[in-house]
Chain A
């Protein structure tokens, strides 16, 4: 496998955030997906929702602006934006199940070409960590996934079928990895954008699923066109 630079986490999340549309309700998973909130396009007004019932919260709070009663789904202190509303946990998930969340961004261990993904349990270990992932995956209008293209051992994570217990079937719409941007189509993964210096053949070599190469394949976009 070529030892070429891969994409960093922030540009990966920036690329997903470019897809957010004005007015969307956005739910960001704990960990890497939180980075999506760092990419701001002034002409887009987004409503960030977190499982613990904050609707319309703002960026992470610097220490002097932190409020001990206001945290996001990862327990990080965030700022209140004008228009913030608070509901309790059952109402927060009522909003999710009704399908009001326009996009949820999550990490995953595996994604399959049929839109399945797995991020809550490894069968060799006891138990699992679901949090709000299954409710969001089953009910949000769109599921975007961010993950490293290969495992630590170099194995593929973009698969024909998931090997781990899935979080929800057939829901993933868009995947960003450190090698590119992939749309999940009825025919499988479509490579839309590739990391700089990586050819489609090199990316295919790290991927179990067969990639469809987009007619308008281009290099990975780091910023939206002004």
Chain B
């Protein structure tokens, strides 16, 4: 089976062209592909479109907000485009307020399902979320068995940036606890999936098939996080 291991993060992201659409996983600071994002920052691709739960946080850690602050991202699809508290204005929110970046705010469950739809070959789906709110205005709606639903479309991407707990050289992935979050659906949705791994990448056959969360067929590139990499 193909060995998808790369020696460095820089090698794994070197060919990402300007204008690419990327998905970046992580939630609550856990399962964030910080090493890949740092490498994309060094690589310098521009005019990117990002799909992620949020546009970064206020802490000094590398996240999607690092690429945004560097001016590499032209549009975000995410569940937060405003500060949750006046004291929490991130670089992303400041740039959005100044019209320096475009953004679409999406309810988190609809965001996850739009990514899953891309991963599952679904053309569109009806969800009850946003019915009766301004976010449903202008969208196709339908009553099914007495309940109203809003039509939502898949979110596709060129690249998924993923952080896993364990992997084998073919790219079978295992996540630990809430590190899982958006990682599996994003890993399965994108055209090219790049993964940073917290443990040694093991030979094929060593992971229990019943414990694999993402089959290696979805995964293209793997990098083991080095001891001097970004861990938290």
Contact A90 B178 (CB under 8 A): no
**Cα(A53)–Cα(B184), bound, Å:** 12
Q: Does A127 contact B (CB under 8 A)?
A: yes
Q: In residues 54-80 of chain B, which contact A (Cβ within 8 Å)? A: 79-80
Contact A132 B109 (CB under 8 A): yes
- Chain B residue at smallest Cβ distance from A166: B133
Contact A127 B105 (CB under 8 A): yes
Contact A75 B179 (CB under 8 A): no
Instruction: Identify the stretch in B9-17, B22-30, B40-48 within 8 Å (CB) of chain A at 4 or more residues.
Output: B22-30
B184 / chain A contacts, CB cutoff of 8 Å: 88
Instruction: Identify the stretch in A62-70, A172-180, A216-224 within 8 Å (CB) of chain B at 4 or more residues.
Output: A62-70
Contact A89 B28 (CB under 8 A): no
Contact A53 B180 (CB under 8 A): yes
- Chain A residue at smallest Cβ distance from B179: A69
B133 / chain A contacts, CB cutoff of 8 Å: 134, 165-169
Residue of B84, B106, B108 with most partner-chain A CB within 10 A: B108
- Chain B residue at smallest Cβ distance from A167: B133
Q: Interface size for chain B: under 10, 10 to 19, 20 to 34, or 35 or more residues?
A: 35 or more
Contact B30 A88 (CB under 8 A): no
Cross-chain pair count, CB within 8 angstroms: 150
Q: Does A59 contact B (CB under 8 A)?
A: no
Residue of A69, A72, A89, A133 with most partner-chain B CB within 10 A: A89
A76 / chain B contacts, CB cutoff of 8 Å: 28
**Cα(A169)–Cα(B135), bound, Å:** 13
**Cα(A139)–Cα(B107), bound, Å:** 13
- Chain A residue at smallest Cβ distance from B85: A31
- Chain A residue at smallest Cβ distance from B104: A127
- Chain B residue at smallest Cβ distance from A75: B28
Q: In residues 92-116 of chain B, which contact A (Cβ within 8 Å)? A: 93, 96-97, 103, 105-110, 112-113, 115-116
Nearest CB of chain B from residue A98's CB, rounded to whole Å: 10
Contact B109 A126 (CB under 8 A): no
Given A96-B109, A138-B129, A139-B128, the answer on whether A88 and B79 have CB atoms closer than 8 Å is no
- Chain B residue at smallest Cβ distance from A135: B109
- Chain A residue at smallest Cβ distance from B134: A165
**Cα(A120)–Cα(B213), bound, Å:** 33
Contact A52 B132 (CB under 8 A): no
B5 / chain A contacts, CB cutoff of 8 Å: none
Contact B112 A89 (CB under 8 A): yes
Nearest CB of chain A from residue B128's CB, rounded to whole Å: 5
**Cα(A136)–Cα(B116), bound, Å:** 18
Write the B112-125 contact mask toward A (1 if CB under 8 angstroms, else 0): 11011000000000
Write the B189-231 contact mask toward A (1 if CB under 8 angstroms, else 0): 0000000000000000000000001000000000000000000
Q: A89-B182, A127-B82 are in contact. List 18 more A-B contacts (CB 8 A).
A: A52-B27, A68-B30, A74-B28, A75-B29, A88-B180, A93-B108, A97-B109, A97-B128, A126-B97, A127-B97, A128-B81, A129-B79, A129-B82, A129-B84, A130-B80, A130-B108, A135-B109, A168-B131
**Cα(A86)–Cα(B27), bound, Å:** 14
- Chain A residue at smallest Cβ distance from B232: A68
Q: Does A54 contact B (CB under 8 A)?
A: yes
Given A72-B28, A166-B133, the answer on whether A129 and B83 have CB atoms closer than 8 Å is yes
A7 / chain B contacts, CB cutoff of 8 Å: none
Contact B29 A52 (CB under 8 A): no
A53 / chain B contacts, CB cutoff of 8 Å: 178, 180-181
Nearest CB of chain B from residue A15's CB, rounded to whole Å: 24
